């Protein structure tokens, strides 16, 4: 029996029994291998170390009310990883290999999938790296794809309790025609310093503006931003943000709930007009935001009355979680049961 306090799991690395790996050599992918080592053996001139040839994904497997394990929209993560690979000239992982890898890693670590209803999940981290050596700036000829997994709790320690965020303009996460729309390590490197400062200043995360003219909201650290105004779900459209699979799903759920949906540029000047705001992503699910402080002007925007999440954010959160955990009908066919 595992001695895990599922209810108080942080979002972090957790050692499990197995991970899976697959190598791309001589122009083709090999067979998937199972490993119980947490380490990889790597060439010191591997392009991932020097030129950032690296992409990752984040996804969750949930234990349902019926005891079954479900994985949410895995094919969207596979597609996004292919787009990331194209973006930094890596070998693309075929969807069949991606699927086999994530299903295998879940099955092998089945005992680490948290029980239903405790707010925890098995987080999967697919990772693709340029492993071949180069010293000139060019793509590698060899790649390594791996997936590891571990049980996690909520990304923000507040869980579904509202957090405070800071909107900043002195750091950019990604350039307009850069790599913001794909999930490559460099974007996260660029966010470390502002996120660290934001935390030191008392905020759960920072909200980045679009880097072209800084008049619009891009995203909320490692999550997309959304707002509710009246009966409309509003979320930024920008070339430099990561197209979130959670956000895409919330837009559909919002429509199903009878809300209007706007995917458009969202001006900083609109922050005072919203009834509810939040951050969304696989790790964060929905994190309601109670307060946004503009670091430049000191202006404060308050949202959650009585410090609790607004009604639409709550309904979106409850519905999404219920679909992911098999407690509500999966009308869009988003889940795959892991057998
Ligand atoms: N934005 C960034 C920068 C992220 O790292 C993530 C997490 O993957 C998201 C948004 C949310 O995307 P998704 O809902 O696909 O997890
Ligand atoms: C996710 O939501 O899965 C992420 O990847 C966000 C962050 C932990 C990088």
Q: Are residues 254 and 282 in the same domain?
A: yes
Is any ligand 1 atom within 6 A of the Cβ of residue 167? no
DSSP three-state, residue 302: strand
Domain final residue pick, 101, 133, 152? 152
The residue to mutate among 55, 244, 249, 287, having the most atoms of ligand 1 within 8 angstroms of its beta carbon, is 244
Domain final residue pick, 97, 125, 152? 152
Residue 125 lies inside a defined structural domain of this protein: yes
Distance 283 CA to ligand 1 centre (A): 8
The answer to whether the beta carbons of residues 333 and 70 sit under 8 Å apart is no
Helix (DSSP H) and strand (DSSP E) numbers for the chain: 6, 17
Residue 11 lies inside a defined structural domain of this protein: yes
Whole-angstrom Cα distance, residue 43 to residue 32? 20
Residue 124 lies inside a defined structural domain of this protein: yes
**C-alpha distances out from residue 293 to 168, 174, 208, Å:** 9, 21, 12
Residue 333 lies inside a defined structural domain of this protein: no
Distance 59 CA to ligand 2 centre (A): 8
Q: Are residues 221 and 297 in the same domain?
A: yes
Distance 36 CA to ligand 1 centre (A): 28
Q: Are residues 123 and 176 in the same domain?
A: no
Is any ligand 2 atom within 6 A of the Cβ of residue 281? yes
Whole-angstrom Cα distance, residue 102 to residue 128? 13
Q: Are residues 16 and 145 in the same domain?
A: yes
Residue 157 lies inside a defined structural domain of this protein: no
Q: Identify the band that residue 157 occupies on the pLDDT scale cut at 50, 70 and 90.
A: confident
Q: Are residues 142 and 59 in the same domain?
A: yes
Residue nearest to atom 7 of ligand 2 (CA): 222
**Residue-number span of the structural domain to which 193 is assigned:** 163-324
pLDDT at res. 186: 97
Residue nearest to atom 6 of ligand 2 (CA): 222
> What are φ and ψ of residue 68, in 5° steps?
-80, 155
Q: Are residues 79 and 191 in the same domain?
A: no
Residue 196 lies inside a defined structural domain of this protein: yes
pLDDT of 1 strictly over 80: no
Number of domains in the chain: 2
Q: Are residues 227 and 258 in the same domain?
A: yes
pLDDT at res. 158: 80
pLDDT tens for residues 233-279?
Answer: 999 999 999 999 999 999 999 999 999 999 999 999 999 999 999 99
Is any ligand 2 atom within 6 A of the Cβ of residue 286? no
Q: Identify the band that residue 64 occupies on the pLDDT scale cut at 50, 70 and 90.
A: very high
Residue 244 CB partners (closer than 8 Å, separation 6+): 223, 224, 280, 281
Q: Are residues 175 and 319 in the same domain?
A: yes
Q: Are residues 181 and 314 in the same domain?
A: yes
Q: Are residues 144 and 13 in the same domain?
A: yes
The residue to mutate among 71, 73, 155, 173, having the most atoms of ligand 2 within 8 angstroms of its beta carbon, is 155
Residue 332 lies inside a defined structural domain of this protein: no
pTM of the predicted protein model: 0.97
Q: Are residues 132 and 193 in the same domain?
A: no
Q: What is the chain's mean pLDDT, rounded?
A: 96
Residue 335 lies inside a defined structural domain of this protein: no
Q: Domain of 88: which CATH number?
A: 3.30.470.10
Domain final residue pick, 152, 179, 194? 152
Is any ligand 1 atom within 6 A of the Cβ of residue 240? no
pLDDT at res. 311: 95
pLDDT of 197 strictly over 90: yes
pLDDT tens for residues 323-332?
Answer: 999 999 999 9
pLDDT tens for residues 87-117?
Answer: 999 999 999 999 999 999 999 999 999 999 9
pLDDT tens for residues 45-60?
Answer: 999 999 999 999 999 9
Q: Are residues 299 and 250 in the same domain?
A: yes
Distance 146 CA to ligand 2 centre (A): 16
């Amino acid at each position: 029996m595992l001695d895990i306090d599922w209810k108080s799991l942080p979002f972090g690395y957790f050692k499990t029994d197995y991970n899976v790996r697959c190598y791309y050599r001589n122009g083709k992918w090999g067979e998937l291998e199972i490993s119980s080592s947490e380490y990889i053996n790597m060439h010191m001139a591997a392009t991932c170390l020097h030129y950032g040839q690296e992409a990752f994904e984040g996804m969750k497997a949930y234990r349902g009310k019926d005891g079954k394990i479900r994985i949410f929209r895995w094919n969207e993560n596979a597609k996004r990883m292919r787009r990331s690979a194209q973006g930094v000239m890596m070998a693309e992982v075929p969807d069949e290999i991606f699927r086999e890898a994530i299903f295998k890693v879940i099955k092998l670590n089945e005992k680490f999938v948290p029980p239903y209803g405790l707010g925890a999940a098995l987080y999967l981290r697919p990772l693709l790296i340029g492993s071949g050596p180069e010293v000139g700036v060019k793509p590698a000829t060899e790649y390594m794809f791996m997936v590891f997994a571990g049980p996690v709790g909520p990304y923000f320690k507040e869980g579904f309790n509202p957090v405070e965020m800071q909107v900043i303009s002195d750091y950019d996460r990604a350039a307009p025609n850069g790599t913001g729309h794909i999930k490559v390590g460099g974007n996260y490197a660029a966010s470390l310093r502002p996120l660290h400062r934001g935390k030191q200043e008392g905020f759960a995360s920072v909200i980045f503006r679009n880097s072209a003219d800084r008049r619009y909201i891009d995203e909320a650290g490692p999550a997309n931003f959304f707002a509710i105004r009246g009966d409309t779900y509003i979320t930024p459209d920008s070339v430099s943000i990561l197209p979130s699979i959670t956000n895409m799903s919330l837009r559909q759920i919002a429509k199903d709930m009878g809300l209007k949906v706007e995917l458009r540029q969202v001006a900083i000047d609109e922050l005072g007009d919203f009834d509810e705001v939040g951050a969304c992503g696989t790790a964060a699910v929905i994190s309601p935001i109670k307060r946004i402080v503009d670091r430049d002007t000191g202006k404060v925007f308050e949202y959650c009355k009585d410090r609790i999440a607004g009604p639409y954010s709550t309904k979106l959160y409850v519905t999404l979680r219920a679909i992911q955990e098999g407690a509500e009908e999966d009308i869009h066919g988003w889940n795959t049961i892991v057998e």
